[in-house]
Amino acid sequence: MARNKRTREAREAVVEKVDGGLAELMPDRDRPRAWTLLVDGAPQSHVDLDDPAHLAFEYQRRIGHIADLVAPPGKPIHALHLGGGAFTLARYIAATRPRSTQQIVERDAALIQLVRRELPLDPGARVRVRAVDAREGLAKIADGWADLVIADVFSGARTPGHLTSTEFLTDVRRVIKPGGYYAANLADGPPLAHLRGQLATAAALFPELALVADPTVLRGKRFGNAVLLGSDHALPIAELTRRSAGDPHPGRVEHGRGLRDFSGGAAAVTDANAVASPAPPPSVFR
């Protein structure tokens, strides 16, 4: 009886105040040890402790595809995560590429403590977590250390302005190995001015770019996520397109001339004029 009681209690929501607002860990009723993290009502991450390779959010699946294509299957990599959430993508890489070395930079120290306590990392995973601002943490990473840098930083539901500029991406580019990848989770809605500005900003630093998103988001029909991919080498467009099209919510991959046309002549963002990404409409989280 005591065991059943503990099981029921473990499946109750966990609600705590963290530095960034009110954090909620909501149990997934379809998966025995899976949870969704929300901060101030905005979904941030989904974690399945029994199956860390399971990615429930569509944007995380798309970044997962990128992580799969960084190097041959199963080969360990060096990955830097700017923004931690519930460490979903770090868990994914640890599960699919054992012996990878990873660093997570997450400003919210209270959130880190909550996640470590309620959703502990595999003790065998080589993951270091630091509670500092993304740019401060990025500045401490050695030149050419990372095979993959993932930017998924949100204060509530908005990306802070200082993480949208050419100065920020210059430091990102510094830490990426030749042939490595930069993947960023971007959120925008009509008229997609923020997304176009981020494409122009990335184009100033990365000669090869691609964008993966739901077609309705790319057409400016609704607010949603888009994943930006940048590199100094040719991108695996065909394989990324195949994987994205096969997702439960199929994504479209834009690149080359189509992506340049989509950016519409937007100007690159600098620290001097950077602003936070737009707030999603209230209907997004209903």
Please identify every stretch of the chain with a pLDDT value under 70, giving residue numbers as ranges: 1-10, 285-286
Closest CA to 23 of 3, 6, 9, 43: 43
Helix axes 166-175, 193-203, angle to 10 degrees: 50
The whole-angstrom separation of Cα 244 and Cα 238 is: 10
The whole-angstrom separation of Cα 207 and Cα 230 is: 8
Give the model's pLDDT for residue 285.
59
Give the model's pLDDT for residue 282.
81
Residue 248 tokens, joined: 């439960």
The whole-angstrom separation of Cα 217 and Cα 187 is: 9
The whole-angstrom separation of Cα 239 and Cα 233 is: 15
Give the model's pLDDT for residue 8.
38
Q: At residue 10, what is the residue type?
A: A
Give the model's pLDDT for residue 2.
38
**Strand extents, DSSP E, the chain:** 14-18, 21-27, 34-39, 42-48, 78-82, 101-105, 126-130, 146-151, 176-188, 208-213, 224-231, 252-255
What are 127-173's pLDDT values in tens digits? 999 999 999 999 999 999 999 999 999 987 899 999 999 999 999 99
Boundaries of every domain in the chain? 53-263
CA 163 to chain centre: 13
Give the model's pLDDT for residue 7.
44
* Dihedral (Cα; 268, 273, 274, 277), 10-degree rounding: -90
Closest CA to 228 of 271, 169, 276: 169
* CATH class for the domain made up of 53-263: alpha beta
